[in-house]
Structure 1
Amino acid sequence: MEPGQSPDSPQLVGVVIITLPPADDPSLGKTITAFTLSDSPSPPPPPQQPQRQHPPPDPPVPDHFPPNIEPPFLLRRALFLFGSPRVLFGLLGMSLIALILWASPSSNPLFELRSSKDENDRKPSSFVFPLFPKSGVREMSQREIELKLGRIVRRDSQNLGAWVDDGLKYSKNSKTVSTASNLDSNAILPVRGNIYPDGLYFTYVLVGSPPKPYFLDMDTGSDLTWVQCDAPCTSCAKGAHPLYKPTKSKIIPSKDSLCAEVQRNQKTGYCETCLQCDYEIEYADQSSSMGVLARDEFRLMFANGSFMKSNFVFGCAYDQQGLLLNSLGMTDGIVGLSRAKVSLPSQLASQGIINNVVGHCLTTDAGLGGYMFLGDELVPYWKMSWVPMLNSLSTNLYHSEIVKMNYGNKKLSLGGKDDGPRWVVFDSGSSYTYFTKKAYSDLIASLKDISNEGHIQDVSDPTLPICWQAKFPVRSVSEVKQYFKPLTLQLGGKWWFASRRFHIQPEGYLVISKNGNVCLGILDGSKEHDGAAFILGDVSLRGQLVVYDNVRQKIGWARSDCIRPLKLKDLPPFVGMDL
């Protein structure tokens, strides 16, 4: 007991000191140090020793204090300053809470509690889809630029479909998709592709029994997954694999719940007595796909290398039109990853196989692709920037709010009334990025300064609307990026504490053409999506891990080399193609 302290004063019985890891290296973990003090009185001080002429050096400070020894001088001083242990610990608690709030990058928990069971006893953690490039197949011109953003179109009950029965086609109604558990599993698949010359990224799925591989264009802007189908086929590209050929038993009737979801926007409603469910999808670039819904065995690879089998509803597409036929020269269809109930992640989540979370990571290296995953086990929540996912009854797109944009230090107008907030859509099915008309014109005006560096616009290059010729043939963006400035998009909210910045370096908006020119991978979006939204396509999503968390209703991103997820040593192989 300290001199002058009354017997009724609170007695200190122990101290716990918690040290958080540094913000730049959370992997170091937190440190907990405990000091336990006894209630028994302290032993009397030892007899005073004769004074020495030269005092000995201070003894080393022990790592911990054994029982029956008073707390160190610093603790006594803290008690003296604050008067009571309750006051001291109250201040320490408030400081700890303030530090956690300051270090947290978002409203998501900084740490997640996991099961204490052995890892071998847990269910497989993730589905991961590797993404890799398939170079030199063809070269796109600006007339061939694809912008997916697929939507199921409304039709009345005209005879526009096809009935599949041993290769015989009969007339039927046409129509489609639209939409507005918690097992700890995840799927992972490799992804291949590039921005130029192919203009798409694709992965593979295994369908049927025995399973057959199909290459599908990865598209977060599409609802329905579909493969080219021999029903028989009216208009199909050659594709990477033979056409999927369904049997009559695989075609789902219109009374199926997912068919009702597809056909609920039809003027006449869905047909309960029909023997099949027809659909037609129209894309933003005026391409289209028509077919019938089928259900077949669908196999995905877990992150641990094992396979999962599921009965999955997808489109048996027998009639493709427009620019879509170009990409189908190297793929077999599209995998729909939107928020719609008929999308791949939504169906797997409804079956309790995954949590409804989608992520993709596209490398900036033209010789690589990246990966895609389904489920939340591979998401590094504490490393990512997060913004709210906006909800709209009219679309299933992944979109948030953009409130400000800069090119370098120069502010660009967002367009619209009073230059207010606009939508920004994350779309892996679009090769390039689209700005509103006003933002695009402001960006072009800001880029005129590069002519002072010897870059002259080359109107003869058909690769993209704006290309510059340098003083030398350019082989990579790294050779010229010093002449361009980064774009900074402020997303999520007007106030700094509620918003996050999405940075697009020159590598995220420049493309090198076959002529050695530098081309702008940002296009005028005044005719796309009503011209009111910004669309971030593959060119600007490269080098970023992008996650769409439909459970928490958030969109997140973090810089990454996209070689593999942090928790995996290697990606699974790309089935169906020689590497």
Structure 2
Amino acid sequence: MASSLSRGIPVLVAVFSLVAVLCDGFPTTMTLERAFPVSGDVELSQLIARDRARHGRMLQSTTGGIVDFPVHGTFNPFLVGLYYTKVQLGSPPKDFYVQIDTGSDVLWVSCSSCSGCPSKTDLEIPLNSFNPRSSSSASAISCSDQRCTKGIQSSDATCSAQDNQCSYSFQYGDGSTTSGYYVSDSFHFDNVQGGGESQTANSSAAVVFGCSTAVSGQLTKTDRAVNGIFGFGQQSLSVISQLASQGITPKVFSHCLKGDDAGGGILVLGEIMEPNMIYTPLVPSQSHYNLNLESISVNGQELNIDPSVFATSSTGGTIIDSGTTLAYLAEKAYEPFVTAIDAAVSQSIQRVPAKDNQCYLVTSRFSS
């Protein structure tokens, strides 16, 4: 499985359609026609829609269609500090806004009996809770269920012989925790299929997700409260793996984030080819999406950091995690990096220490 990350900057490209003129069954002339005019701006959404249709046709023949999700939020920790999307669960379907997290596997939402789940948020979204009794298609997952067994193998599930209920308990990097039990219910989505012009069909599939009965830590805060977390990991209980195993979508997703205060971006189950995208291979056989970080440079100068600091192992390496607001470095890489940044910043700029971190006070906009 691959995660595609980009800066989300609109790029104008020339897109052409190939037209063949047939004579007695053989092509005699071939002309190129522009799909978009030479002059004038083209919205990025138009390019993406055309690209998605093209790739939808390619993917349909082997691995199903493409599922598209709206992306909200920004990277800016002083505004939102997270990216989230909307999912629809249950029968009848109900909206839930969940944080996008490539660092975990499971989709979970607040349950109606949740302790500590926030009841209000500073984000302009409704906060709903999931009630299995209110959904005609919901069913509990027992310990004997094969899906629970696979979840136990990946440490995404636990089982209590006392009540025969497949459960979970997670702790995230910021110390937040959540626990609850698994249910199976309808997951609703727009499936983009190929065939001539792209077609969008309302579809649904039965997926297993978490019904959280307790949360703690940052998950209880109202300033950035959402309905739950949408794990995009690669284990069997991730929605990506479940839909791929049913032949609905390919086992690949594209996650492009806008790096400005406007935020948003693109999130699809499927592949989107973006112009000028730079790729890096992921390290195979890892529980997370690890990559090989080789070095760090500041102002074009490579820092003197032992490469072993970046080595990928079962307990280390560099992880791509959309659920983490900040970037974190090992101490032996962090110290020379911060020192180099400080040396690169003009001495005329005021230094402001804040909680053991070095901050800089600037009065005008600048490019980083």
Given the two structures, how large is their TM-score scaled by the length of structure 2? 0.73
Residue 303 (structure 2) pairs with residue 412 (structure 1): yes
Alignment of 1:34-73 (within 5 A): none
Cα 1:270/1:277, change in 2 over 3 Å: closer
Task: Find the counterpart in structure 1 of residue 261 from structure 2.
Answer: 366
Residue 327 (structure 2) pairs with residue 425 (structure 1): no
Cα deviation, 1:528-548, whole Å, max 9, x if unaligned, reads xxxxxxxxxxxxxxxxxxxxx
Task: Find the counterpart in structure 2 of residue 317 from structure 1.
Answer: 212
SS of equivalent residue, structure 1 residue 440: helix
SS of equivalent residue, structure 1 residue 306: strand
Cα 1:221/1:458, change in 2 over 3 Å: same
Cα deviation, 1:191-247, whole Å, max 9, x if unaligned, reads 1112232211100001111111000000011111000002x2222111532311112
Cα 1:375/1:246, change in 2 over 3 Å: same
Moved more, 252-261 or 405-414: 405-414
Task: Find the counterpart in structure 1 of residue 145 from structure 2.
Answer: 256
1:294 to 183, 200, 206: 183
Task: Find the counterpart in structure 2 of residue 246 from structure 1.
Answer: 132
Task: Answer yes or no: is the 8 Å Cα contact 1:218–1:337 preserved in 2.
Answer: yes
Alignment of 1:384-533 (within 5 A): 384-392=277-285, 395-415=286-306, 417=308, 421-422=311-312, 423-459=317-353, 465-470=357-362, 472=363, 474=364, 479-481=365-367, 506=368
Q: Distance in 2 between matches of 1:247 and 1:271?
A: 21
Residue 67 (structure 2) pairs with residue 187 (structure 1): yes
Task: Find the counterpart in structure 2 of residue 207 from structure 1.
Answer: 89
Post-superposition offset of 1:287: 1.1
SS of equivalent residue, structure 1 residue 263: helix
Question: Structure 1: which 5+ runs fail to align?
Answer: 1-24, 31-63, 65-118, 127-180, 482-505, 507-579
Cα 1:215/1:250, change in 2 over 3 Å: same
Task: Find the counterpart in structure 1 of residue 226 from structure 2.
Answer: 331
Task: Find the counterpart in structure 2 of residue 280 from structure 1.
Answer: 169
Cα 1:420/1:353, change in 2 over 3 Å: closer
Q: Which amino acid aligns with 1:293?
A: Y
Q: Distance in 1 between matches of 2:210 and 2:310?
A: 39
Cα 1:468/1:420, change in 2 over 3 Å: closer
Aligned length: 304
Task: Answer yes or no: is the 8 Å Cα contact 2:154–2:235 preserved in 1.
Answer: no
Which gives a bigger RCO, structure 1 or 2 (Cα 8 Å, sep 6+)?
Answer: 2
SS of equivalent residue, structure 1 residue 341: coil
Cα deviation, 1:325-368, whole Å, max 9, x if unaligned, reads 22685310000101111111111101100111111111123123
Higher strand share: 2
Cα 1:465/1:291, change in 2 over 3 Å: same
Task: Answer yes or no: is the 8 Å Cα contact 1:288–1:322 preserved in 2.
Answer: yes
SS of equivalent residue, structure 1 residue 229: strand
SS of equivalent residue, structure 1 residue 390: coil
SS of equivalent residue, structure 2 residue 151: helix
1:348 to 243, 246, 261: 243
Task: Answer yes or no: is the 8 Å Cα contact 1:355–1:375 preserved in 2.
Answer: yes
SS of equivalent residue, structure 1 residue 364: coil
Task: Answer yes or no: is the 8 Å Cα contact 1:413–1:442 preserved in 2.
Answer: yes
Q: Distance in 2 between matches of 1:233 and 1:420?
A: 40
Q: Distance in 1 between matches of 2:182 and 2:304?
A: 44
Task: Answer yes or no: is the 8 Å Cα contact 2:114–2:215 preserved in 1.
Answer: no
Residue 123 (structure 2) pairs with residue 237 (structure 1): no
Q: Distance in 2 between matches of 1:28 and 1:265?
A: 46
Q: Distance in 1 between matches of 2:347 and 2:81?
A: 29
Task: Answer yes or no: is the 8 Å Cα contact 1:208–1:298 preserved in 2.
Answer: yes
Task: Answer yes or no: is the 8 Å Cα contact 1:254–1:273 preserved in 2.
Answer: no
Q: Which amino acid aligns with 1:387?
A: T
Post-superposition offset of 1:27: 5.3
Larger Rg: 1
Task: Find the counterpart in structure 2 of residue 150 from structure 1.
Answer: none
| RMSD over equivalenced CA pairs, Å | 3.4
Given the two structures, how large is their TM-score scaled by the length of structure 1? 0.47
Q: Distance in 1 between matches of 2:94 and 2:58?
A: 23
Post-superposition offset of 1:125: 6.7
Cα 1:466/1:308, change in 2 over 3 Å: farther
Q: Distance in 2 between matches of 1:199 and 1:438?
A: 26
Q: Distance in 2 between matches of 1:383 and 1:451?
A: 30
SS of equivalent residue, structure 2 residue 226: coil
Q: Which amino acid aligns with 1:326?
A: K
Residue 273 (structure 2) pairs with residue 379 (structure 1): yes
SS of equivalent residue, structure 1 residue 371: strand
Q: Which amino acid aligns with 1:467?
A: C
Q: Which amino acid aligns with 1:385?
A: I
Cα 1:309/1:420, change in 2 over 3 Å: closer
Task: Answer yes or no: is the 8 Å Cα contact 1:182–1:353 preserved in 2.
Answer: no
Q: Which amino acid aligns with 1:245?
A: N
Task: Answer yes or no: is the 8 Å Cα contact 1:192–1:368 preserved in 2.
Answer: yes
Question: Structure 2: which 5+ runs fail to align?
Answer: 1-12, 19-28, 30-52, 121-125, 193-198
Cα 1:420/1:369, change in 2 over 3 Å: closer
Cα 1:352/1:451, change in 2 over 3 Å: closer
